[in-house]
Amino acid sequence: MNAILEMQGITKTFPGVKALDDVNITVRAGEIHALVGENGAGKSTLMKVLSGVYPHGSYSGSIFYEGEERRFKGIADSESLGIIIIHQELALVPLLSIAENIFLGNEQAKYGVIDWSLAFSRTKELLKVVGLNESPETLVTNLGVGKQQLVEIAKALSKKVKLLILDEPTASLNEKDSDALLNLLLQFKAQGISSILISHKLNEISKVADSITVLRDGGTVETLNCRAQTISEDRIIRGMVGRTMEDRYPKRDPNIGETIFQVENWSAYHPIHSHVQVVKDVNLNIRRGEIVGIAGLMGAGRTEFAMSLFGRSYGRNISGRVMLHGQEIDVSTVEKAVSSGIAYATEDRKTYGLVLAEDIRKNVTLANLEGVSKNFVIDDIRELAVANDYRAKMRIRSPSVFQETVNLSGGNQQKVVLSKWLFSDPEILILDEPTRGIDVGAKYEIYTIINRLADAGKGVLMISSEMPELLGMCDRIYVMNEGSLIAELDIAEASQEKIMHAIVKSGRR
């Protein structure tokens, strides 16, 4: 089988950094080629070189596509030859319809006048191919992320794609949608369309990839052939981090005390569709020094539960009781929740967690300015000391605490968010997807911090969509589905199968 794409000796330098250093990758026609590596390994840069975002001349090395050397000057050049990228952040216009989005920039038009009936009929065909049962007139904003992803793929198909590049396509999809997407890739493969799949989810890669190229620090480490033999996840990780990750989760001897936190009959309704109950009669408890997980599929209501609990930041008609140390506490506003000793680190740190334009120092003290001020006047020396203290304790990598948080990597941003909440000195810390979008090394550090919190006698409630993470970190796991807690598993008896089994069983009821 011959290669559809060969990139040879690609080197790309930015001022001061060598982002890619002599990278080689060969994609054979009709295969699914996975590209893996830690954040910052150069995956996205490589794909930008391929698609012409970085035009020929701004890098060294050569690109052979369909047997000829190509010198792309821009995305239009690569797209016209059938190389289509679907980025991690979807590039759809929310308030336009599916059909309008699919043909955006490529309108089915004659003399600038759009032939809508043609556009709609072509959209219908494309939607059938990707298995999306929606009207072409549906606005994209009314679709879930999974379906939006399918619209993106339909858009790629409309451009006669030969090489489809997907950057973290399943990052925000639940298991069912992810599976559907992966099956679609297999289907394309059968039709002779090649794909490059960039993903952090190694289990998915093992499932569909024909070969795997591992990047580390801007260089090619190796290319693994999955057809010859099965490649284990540990094998891939070893390539990515350059060492064996004996244990992805730091060891901890849990020292669990009495129950300190209880939620009773917690319910919340959708903020707009007020008859839809999003959180249904949730009862849970956390003990001193315990890490409790909430597992569930995307959309199970976990984030909604946490946010409704934290100062009614989500939903309406919220009811239920929250007890800390046996006393009922008022959590009706964020301020009250924080002062009662609850903290919530959000899943979306850029939108809800950080003031990106401000430095580490100001972000760290934001939730507890009283802690560094007297009579409303901030003691800037004390503030600086606090910020430096957290920077050291959390190992936030930056030149100083005066670094704007927008310039930090995902892992370091997450450490700033955690610092902010630790400085508010909570009893109960709710962590929502604490390691989303963070590379393997930084994950380990975050886990260590979480363990340390539990050892200090706090109660931790951890929401995560990555089941291995919950199984590796928690002492007890609740399973949530459709707004209800449907199972409670002690870590000794918990497994991925049991969790999935509980979800499937409750879905059937």
Binding site for another protein (CB under 8 A): 310-311, 313, 333-335, 337-339, 344, 346, 351-358, 362, 366-367, 369-370, 373, 376-378, 380-381, 384-385, 388, 391-392, 395, 397, 400, 420, 424, 441, 445
DSSP 139: B
**CA-wise closest residue to 356 among 408, 307, 400, 418:** 408
Q: Which is nearer to another protein, 180 or 245 (CB)?
A: 245
CB of 419 to another protein, least distance (A): 12
Amino acid at 471: L
Distance CA 334, CA 313 (A): 7
Q: Which is nearer to another protein, 188 or 305 (CB)?
A: 305
Collapsed DSSP state (helix, strand, coil) of residue 67? coil
Angular region, 52: left φ>0, alpha ψ -120 to 50, beta rest: left
CB of 380 to another protein, least distance (A): 7
Distance CA 414, CA 432 (A): 11
Amino acid at 494: A
Distance CA 176, CA 131 (A): 13
Q: Which is nearer to another protein, 243 or 508 (CB)?
A: 243
Q: Give start and end residues of each alpha helix (H) in 172-263.
A: 175-190, 202-208, 233-241
CB of 372 to another protein, least distance (A): 9
**CA-wise closest residue to 502 among 489, 490, 492, 491:** 489
CB of 320 to another protein, least distance (A): 20
CB of 376 to another protein, least distance (A): 5
Rounded to 5 degrees, what are φ and ψ at 27?
A: -110, 125
Q: Which is nearer to another protein, 104 or 392 (CB)?
A: 392
Beta strands 484-490 and 373-374 are: unpaired
Q: Which is nearer to another protein, 295 or 306 (CB)?
A: 306
Positive or negative, the CA dihedral 255, 258, 264, 266 is negative
CB of 483 to another protein, least distance (A): 22
CB of 365 to another protein, least distance (A): 8
Q: Which is nearer to another protein, 426 or 459 (CB)?
A: 426
Q: Distances from the Cα of 137 to the Cαs of 128, 356, 424, in angstroms?
A: 15, 37, 48
Q: Which is nearer to another protein, 65 or 344 (CB)?
A: 344
Q: Which is nearer to another protein, 118 or 385 (CB)?
A: 385
CB of 385 to another protein, least distance (A): 7
**CA-wise closest residue to 432 among 275, 307, 288:** 307
